[in-house]
Chains A and B, each alone.
Chain A
């Protein structure tokens, strides 16, 4: 077994309830509840619909439940379809680690496996916390995005090991699970290119994660050196050996505490400026009176949201629009809100009236800000900074350094904030009685006795 595999297996094997301090438990509950909200919000979008059609071709009376639909299907495909729903509104959580991702993508897969294995809600809850920690730790090791690997690159082993833990796999089986899970690597092309598969890109990886654990449980051996072996991760993916630290921040908070939640259904690096525009800029100017809005920021935000060659000034689709800083800030300035329902309709995305406003925004990298974006030892938490300079046609200027958005570790969303997001997600999708039933059930996952009762609340939307 290579060193990284041994670390992952040992940490997973020894992971126990002792980590569930009050702050960890409270953070984990907020992330679980936020994920439930996102699953409901995304239910009606195209990608989850397509995913459910395919999943329902594999019915399984002892399988996992498709949220909102109620059909029980093969767990790989339930995890795939449910995670696609969670991800498709671009509203679920994430972390700022170099090779991290949207950690709550993993929750439907873990819940689905818990359903078919008869796991307790407490075990599922613990596996979720484990999955976040593994993803954060692996995410600290290499800059996945710079190498153009997909966002699911480290999600796969993190989720697979948490699922393996839930299945009660032996150390040998966990090692095989690790190797199976890293044998297929997602391309960066699967993310952020403006197509609906973006919502399914990590979901497909989760299907592989469940499959990997199933293969290992069935006895399928795999290499014991998936990281340092010939043709392995070091050679082909990270392009260099790396050290792994577990837990991700020794002596510090756990990853699930530091992962962010999103106030708006948009790309993470837009959150701070959206709050700034809605709360501070709108009272200061109208879109018509604004002459320019210049943003200097870290490379990652520029690359995700500000590159003209990524169609950010003329987004053709919802998926491109929610990754366009000019689009998002223009909508925020005009509408005073970003709604997953109204801000990304075909008509709004194509609205010609927004284009001249969008041209008032410029985004560029400031290398000094980039250098400080991930402080040593706190890479997952990050230090997002946006140096903005606004100018009205009248000549009046507003200069400000905007940082930690609502939902960031240093500016957390409260239980009330998450509840408000849940209310918004349910509006028009779930009736009030069911909404309260879901709310009561899932805020209590850590103390519930029966996982089926919780999942039952999500079986049918309507």
Chain B
């Protein structure tokens, strides 16, 4: 067993619910609660609907609930469509330099349901998956390398492996099987986003769960999947270690250190949107001469990039590009107010009247900001607005609402949840789901919650 495999196996073996602090458990509850709300927002996403159709055609002994399907599909397909729903609006948690940890939560819930696991085991499995994501995000070692589904695979297999009761050897095999056939390509994600943008992590979570089940049935995998010849370190990443897996930072574990998004768009757009909304009280779009936004390299890569004909972020054709376009998001917020899921209808995204304002926006990157993002997780952004009357206005943002150092309150998370869930559940069911999720550690069984997942509908 190579070192990373051993670290994951030993970590999984060390975790049980009773070892988790109360604040960590509350963090997990907040994250699951937010993920379910995001799935309601993404319930009608195109990728979600497509995968729901595929899931509906499946069934089997290892089955789990999918949002909006009365019958239980095969667990892997429940995971695929549920994770697609969570991901669809780009509204779910993050901030770990390793993607979105809640991409793995549908797999934990589905496998917990299929194995009739206890709520406490589910919470422990979610903890495991978040810690693996957090550990792989250390020092942003994979940032910008398109490896987020790879991280999702490892986090999923660790958590589902625990729920399936894998032995150490079985878990090591599951880790190997989850990774070897499935190194993801992050093709064109930054410039021509397609349905697959929402599916890479969902697919990884699906295949990682299958890997765990194969290992449980006796399938072995390469014993040196990280340090072997042709293995991960040689073919995909450089050497990394997971010695820090599970260790708190400043007294907080990973579930307590994630970002929750106030607006349904990429993480580092949250600050610029908040700044322009603040300026909205002082200025109108007609007064704008120019807006210069200076951000981290990550924000620049994800939300702007070079102004080239191939880069659609400067003229987004779809919601999936628009929610990663700083010019669109800033112009839209200044024109219409807070960004919501309703800000990305085709008419909105293609609205020609926004384009002149978008063309007044420029986005620069600052090395110092990028370094501080890596070293102390600041999301620095500066907005400088030049007005036609010669005035200049400047705003700065470092820890936007939802950042772990400026967290959304439980009440804010509930408001976010309510806005989405009210669209897919009748009032009584909506209220019941909200209560049960906030009360999760004391719930006696998962069944009543997943039954409400199955009740999601377009006509609540």
Contact = CB atoms under 8 A, between A and B. Distances in A.
B60 A186 contact: no
A197 B229 contact: no
Contacts of A229: 187-188, 191-192
5 contacts: A49-B217, A147-B235, A184-B182, A218-B54, A223-B196
Interface string B241-270: 000000000000000000000000000000
Contacts of A187: 179-181, 183, 225, 230-232, 235-236
Given A187-B232, A222-B196, A58 B185 contact: no
A220 B188 contact: no
A127 B217 CA distance: 32
Given A184-B182, A231-B146, A197 B232 contact: no
A43 to B, nearest CB: 16
Interface string B204-223: 00010010011001111111
A84 B200 CA distance: 25
A221 B60 CA distance: 28
A230 B191 contact: yes
A54 B75 CA distance: 12
A358 interface: no
A195 interface: yes
B447 to A, nearest CB: 20
B182 A237 contact: no
A408 interface: no
A269 interface: no
Interface stretch (B45-53, B89-97, B399-407): B45-53
B73 to A, nearest CB: 9
Contacts of A74: 58, 60, 74
B187 A215 contact: no
A275 B58 CA distance: 48
B224 interface: yes
Given A50-B217, A150-B181, A58 B58 contact: yes
A48 to B, nearest CB: 10
Interface string A215-238: 100111111111001111100110
Given A187-B232, A222-B196, A51 B185 contact: no
Given A74-B58, A193-B228, A220-B199, A184 B184 contact: yes
Give chain B's interface secondary structure class: loop
A353 interface: no
B139 to A, nearest CB: 22
B47 A220 contact: yes
A226 B200 CA distance: 14
A427 B186 CA distance: 48
A60 B59 contact: yes
A197 B221 contact: yes
Given A53-B217, A236-B146, 14 more contacts: A50-B214, A54-B214, A57-B74, A59-B59, A59-B60, A148-B235, A179-B187, A189-B228, A201-B181, A214-B54, A215-B51, A218-B50, A221-B46, A221-B194
Given A59-B60, A229-B188, A190 B53 contact: no
A180 interface: yes
B185 A186 contact: no
Contacts of B290: none
A149 interface: yes
Interface residues of A, number: 59
A185 interface: yes
Given A184-B181, A223-B196, A231 B188 contact: yes
Given A54-B210, A188-B235, A223 B181 contact: no
A215 B220 contact: no
B176 interface: yes
Given A197-B176, A197-B180, A214-B54, A183 B196 contact: yes
A215 B181 contact: no
A96 interface: no
A200 interface: yes
B203 interface: yes
A135 interface: no
Contact of B62 (A57, A60, A195): A57
A53 B216 CA distance: 10
Nearest to A197: B221
A58 B187 contact: no
Contact of B53 (A46, A148, A218): A218
Contacts of B223: 193, 195
A205 interface: yes
Contacts of A53: 217
A53 B207 CA distance: 16
B51 to A, nearest CB: 8
B241 to A, nearest CB: 18
Contacts of B177: 197, 204
Contacts of B196: 179-180, 183, 220-223
A197 B185 CA distance: 23
B185 A232 contact: yes
Nearest to B310: A230
B61 interface: yes
Interface string A20-64: 000000000000000000000000001101110110111110000
A230 B188 contact: yes
A193 B235 contact: no
A222 B230 contact: no
Nearest 6 interchain pairs by C-beta: A188-B230, A148-B230, A190-B180, A189-B231, A58-B60, A229-B188
A183 to B, nearest CB: 5
B394 interface: no
B190 interface: yes
A113 interface: no
Given A59-B59, A197-B222, A220-B199, A183 B214 contact: no
A343 interface: no
Contacts of A183: 184-185, 187, 196, 200, 203
B222 A223 contact: no
Given A188-B230, A196-B220, A231-B187, A223 B192 contact: yes
A193 B187 contact: no
Interface string A222-259: 11111001111100110000000000000000000000
B195 interface: yes
Contacts of A200: 214, 219
B396 interface: no
A76 to B, nearest CB: 9
A195 B185 contact: no
A149 B235 contact: yes
A152 interface: yes
Nearest to B233: A189
Contacts of A221: 46, 194-196
A197 B220 contact: yes
A208 interface: yes
Nearest to A148: B230
Contacts of B46: 219, 221
A43 B190 CA distance: 45
A311 to B, nearest CB: 11
Given A74-B74, A229-B187, A229-B192, A184 B235 contact: no
Contacts of A237: 185
Contacts of A186: 180-183
Interface string A56-90: 11111000000000000010000000000000000
B238 interface: no
> Which of B59, B214, B232: most chain A Cβ within 10 A?
B214
Contacts of B59: 58-60
> Which of A46, A49, A190, A195: most chain B Cβ within 10 A?
A190
A232 B57 CA distance: 31
> Which of A152, A180, A193, A237: most chain B Cβ within 10 A?
A193
B234 interface: yes
A233 B183 CA distance: 12
A230 B146 CA distance: 10
A54 B213 CA distance: 7
B224 to A, nearest CB: 7
Interface string B108-149: 000000000000000000000000000000000000001001
